[in-house]
Amino acid sequence: MQWTDEDRTRLLAFRKDIDNDNIRVKEKIKKVLLDNKYIIHALHNEELEENEAEPDEYFNVNILPYYIIKPTQHKVQNFVCYTVGYEPTSRYDTSTTTKKLTIQFVVLCEWSDIVDEETSLARHDLLAALIQDTFNFTNIFRERIVLVSDLESVVDNDYACRTLTFRQSTDNNLVKTEGNLASIINKKMNPGGYR
Taking only the tens place, the pLDDT of each residue in 65-101 is 999 877 666 677 899 999 999 886 666 555 567 788 9
Report d(CA 26, CA 140) in Å as an integer.
12
As a whole number, the mean pLDDT across the chain is 85
Q: 22: buried, middle or exposed (CB in 10 Å: 19+, 13-18, 0-12)? A: middle
Q: What's the pLDDT at 118?
A: 94
Q: What's the pLDDT at 189?
A: 41
Report d(CA 184, CA 38) in Å as an integer.
39
| pTM, full prediction | 0.82
Task: For residues 114-124, give the mean pLDDT.
Answer: 96
Q: What's the pLDDT at 157?
A: 82
Could you tell me the strand order of the sheet in which 159-171 lies? 63-64, 78-87, 98-110, 159-171, 143-155, 138-141
Residue-wise over 144-160: b if at least 16 C-beta within 10 A, else e? ebebeebeeeeeeeebb
